[in-house]
């Protein structure tokens, strides 16, 4: 494990903060409970349906992110935490702190995004190093 106990604690706090933030947003939207307008002219109705759809999209995006953060909260307790699930490289403290739901290092993430957009030019990179973490266990 390349992260210090202090860094792990910071990441855990970051996960918790982000979870709270999303939960608040979700609850807030639920309380506001946006109902599509059923009266008014057609433009009003179309417009309000558009807003309702946007709200739904935001809700489901946040629900997905919340799930990822829940996974991250479990992941952070495991020995595999902090290693890219694609290449096995260290994801890095700063990235994990900013995006604790991230499961890939920035390079794999960028490669994936490029592939999704249809132009994939992976940069040459060193092969993943074997995951050995037997010696520094006691640092935790
Ligand atoms: Zn990677």
Between the CA of 104 and the centroid of ligand 1 the distance, in Å, is 5
What is the pTM assigned to this prediction? 0.69
- Structural domain contains residue 126: no
Mean pLDDT for the chain? 85
pLDDT at residue 130 in the model:
64
Domain presence at residue 27? yes
Number of domains the chain contains: 1
Residue 92 falls inside a structural domain: no
CA of 20 to the centre of ligand 1 (A): 28
Residue 137 domain-assigned (yes or no): no
Judge whether 111 lies within some domain. no
User: Which pLDDT tens digit goes with each residue over 50-84?
Assistant: 888 888 888 999 999 999 999 999 999 998 899 99
- Distance from the CA of 82 to the center of ligand 1, in angstroms? 11
Is 95 contained in some domain? no
CA distance 1 to 23: 30
Please give the residue range of the domain that contains residue 11.
5-82
Taking a C-beta distance cutoff of 8 angstroms, is the pair 107, 21 a contact?
no
* DSSP string for 85-113: TTT--B--HHHHHH-TT--S-HHHHHHHH
**Cα 119 to averaged position of ligand 1 atoms, centre (Å):** 18
């Amino acid at each position: 494990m390349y992260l210090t106990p202090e860094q792990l604690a910071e990441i855990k706090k970051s996960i918790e903060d982000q979870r709270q933030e999303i939960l608040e947003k979700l609850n807030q939207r639920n309380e506001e409970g946006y109902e599509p307008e059923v009266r008014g002219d057609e433009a009003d109705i179309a417009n309000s349906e558009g807003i309702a759809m946007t709200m739904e999209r935001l809700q489901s995006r946040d629900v997905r992110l919340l799930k990822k953060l829940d996974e991250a909260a479990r992941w952070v307790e495991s020995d595999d935490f902090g290693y890219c699930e694609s290449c096995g490289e260290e994801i890095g403290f700063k990235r994990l702190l900013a995006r604790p739901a991230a499961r890939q290092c920035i390079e794999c993430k960028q490669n994936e995004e490029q592939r999704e957009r249809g132009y994939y030019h992976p940069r040459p990179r060193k092969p993943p190093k074997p995951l050995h973490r037997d010696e520094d266990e006691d640092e935790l």
